[in-house]
Structure 1
Amino acid sequence: MASVQSSISESHLPDELLIARVMQIHSSICKLESLRPSKQVNSLFTQLVNLCTIPSSIDITDLPSEVQLMRESLIQLCGRAEGLLELQFANFLINIPQPLDHLDVFPYYENYVKLASLEYSILYENGMVQPKRVAFVGSGPMPLTSFVLATHHMQTTQFVNFDIDESANNVARQIVATDVELESRMKFENCDIMEVKERLGDFDCIFLAALVGMNKADKVKILGHVKKYMKAGGTLLVRSANGARGFLYPVIEENDLVGFEILTIFHPNNEVINSVVLVRKPLF
C-alpha cells in the first residue's frame, strides 16, 4: 500500500506573494548574460531555492497559464545553471589529488548526502537492501548520489550512470578513476535513455533524476519507456517536487505512474528539495 508522508512547518508565506517573488527572480535570471557560476548568478539561485523551500500550499497544477509558462522556463534555466555549477566543481576536482575526499567543496553536497540517505532508507524499508545492480539516469558531471550510495550505503552494488552529455560523463569518469575499488563498480554510458531498451531489465533498482524529462509530457514518456523494459519486480525511484519546490523541478503525480505499484511518496520539509517517489513494476 502506498504511504504518503509530509510535515507542516509554522512559517508560511501567502501564495500570491511567493509567486510574485518567484516571477521577479525569474525576470532577473532571464536578464543574465550567462548562467555560469558567478556572484550574481549564485545569489539569484540561492534566493530562489530559499524562497521555494518555504512551506506553501501552492498547487502547481492550479496556476494561471502565464505562471505555468514562467515555471517551465524557470525549470529549464535551473537545469542549465545546475549543470554548469556541477561542471565547474567537477573540473576543479579532477585537478586535485584524491578528489573523492573533497566532494564537500560542492555547495550543495550536504543536501545530496541527506537525500541519498533518505532514498536508501526508503529503499531499505521496501526490501531493497543491497541491490546487485543500480542504474542512475541523468547522472551529470558530479554524480553525487551514486558516489554517496556506493561508498556509504551500497558497498557491493554495481552502478551504471547514464547521461546524454558525453562531456559530463568524461569528467565524472575521471573523478571515479582515482579510486580503484569504486571504479571497478561504477560505469558511465553516454546515451538517451529512450534508446536503452532490454538492458534496463538488468537492474534491480533504477533512479530517475529530477531533470530527466524537463516537462510533464517528456517525463511521462520516459516513465512509460522505463516501465516497459525494466524487470518485473524491480523498483524505480523517481525524484519529484512538491508545493513551491515545483518551480525548481518537474512534479510527478500519481496519475503519471499508471501501471506501477506505488510504494512510497515522501515530501521533505527541510533543505532537501526533491520529493522521493518509489514505485515497483508488478510481477504479473
Structure 2
Amino acid sequence: MATSVGKTLTHADVNSKSVDWTNGITKASRDVAWYQASLTRVPETAIQVFREYSGIPDEEILDHIYKVRDQAWDVLPYPCIGVFRFLDFPACLSPVYEEVLGRVSAGETLLDLGCCFGQDIRKLVQDGAPSDNIIGVDHESRFIDLGYELFGDRETLKSRFYTGDVFAQDFLANMRGQIDIIFVGSFLHLFTFDQQKVVLAQLCKLLRHREGSLVFGRHVATEGKGGTLRMDTLGWDVYHHSPDTIRQLWDTAPEGEWEVTSELMPYASEGWSNGVNWQGGNHVKQQYFSARWQ
C-alpha cells in the first residue's frame, strides 16, 4: 500500500511501507508547463558526452535525445525529463566533483541513488572513472533500460544497476558499509523532511563508517525558511531546502558526525526555453550540498 507524501514516516515505517511521492500523478499529457517540446540548444556538456562517449554523429544527437526523452515521459512525467534537465549532467556541476572523480578513479565506490538514465555515471566514465567502481539505483527499471538506449553502451559499460525502494527494510542490504560516496541528484526534494530522515538513515547504513565518506547532490531550494510546498503546476508536493534545513537534516543522522556545506544557485538549465516560469518564478533556487563524515 502506498503512503501519501504528506504523511509523516517514522523509522518503523521503513519496514513495510513505500512512498508515493507523485500523489498518484503518473501520467500527463504533453500540454503541461513542465513539458518542453524542443530544445533551444543542446548543452555543450551533453554534446560532448553523446559525441565522444556514445559516438553519435552531431547531426543525429538532437533526434536521438527526443526519441528517448519521449519514451521516458510515457513512463513517468517527471519535470527533469520534460524540460531536459537530465542533459545538465548535474554531478559534474557540484563543487566537489573533481574530488569525487579523483576518488572514484583511485578505486573508491560511488552510488548514484535515483540515477534515472544514469547520465551522471556516463559523465564520470567519460571523464576517466572506471565504470566498475560505480553503481546506479532507481525505483524504475525502465529508466535504466532507456539509459542504455540513450548512451548506446549496454555491451561496454561495467557499472552495476539495481532497482529498489529506498524505504524498504532490506534496501541494498548486501552493500551496507561498502560505499564511499553517494550522489543524490533531484532526489531529496521528492520527500518530506521526516521521510528524508528515513532516507538518511539508509545512507548511513550504506556508507563506510569512516572519515571522508561523502554524500553530495542537488535539489530545488529556497532562500526562505524551507519546507514542503505544493507545486500547483505539478500537483506534487516538493520539499524546498534552505541552508538551515539541509544542516538540520544531517543533525538527525543516526550515526557519525557530519560537516555539511551548501550553496544556493539560480534554478536554471542551458536547454530551457521556459526558464523557471513553470515553477512559478525566480524565488525557486537550486542547492548544491555535500555532507562529509568526520
Structure 2 unaligned blocks of 5 or more:
1-22, 37-64, 73-81, 232-237, 270-284
Measured after TM superposition, the shift of residue 188 of structure 1 is 1.0
| Residue among 109, 112, 129 paired with 1:136 | 112
Residue of structure 1 in register with 2:69 after alignment: 89
Looking at structure 1, the residues matched to 66 and 137 of structure 2 have their Cα atoms a distance apart, in angstroms, of 16
Match of 1:268, SS state, is strand
Pick closer, same or farther for the CA change 1:197–1:87 going to 2, 3 Å. Answer: farther
**Structure 1 residues 150-173: Cα deviation after superposition (integer angstroms, max 9, x where no partner):** 323635662211112222223324
**Structure 1 residues 242-283: Cα deviation after superposition (integer angstroms, max 9, x where no partner):** 21797564225211102442242111125155312111223x
Residue of structure 2 in register with 1:189 after alignment: 162
Q: Which amino acid aligns with 2:261?
A: T
**Contact kept in structure 2, 1:210 and 1:274, CA below 8 Å:** no
Residue of structure 1 in register with 2:181 after alignment: 205
Query: TM-score normalized by structure 1?
Result: 0.55
Which 10-residue stretch deviates more, 172-181 or 217-226?
172-181
2:136 pairs with 1:161: yes
Q: Which amino acid aligns with 1:237?
A: F
Match of 2:265, SS state, is coil
Structure 1 unaligned blocks of 5 or more:
1-29, 47-84, 93-104
Pick closer, same or farther for the CA change 1:269–1:210 going to 2, 3 Å. Answer: same
> 1:72-151 alignment to 2 at 5 Å?
89=69, 91=71, 107-110=84-87, 112-113=88-89, 115-119=90-94, 121-124=95-98, 129-131=102-104, 132=107, 133-140=109-116, 142-151=117-126
Looking at secondary structure, tell me which structure has more strand per residue. Answer: 2
Query: TM-score normalized by structure 2?
Result: 0.53
2:214 pairs with 1:235: yes
Pick closer, same or farther for the CA change 1:149–1:86 going to 2, 3 Å. Answer: farther
Measured after TM superposition, the shift of residue 191 of structure 1 is 1.2
Measured after TM superposition, the shift of residue 106 of structure 1 is 7.2
2:263 pairs with 1:266: yes
Q: How many residue pairs are counted as aligned between the two chains?
A: 193
Match of 2:177, SS state, is helix
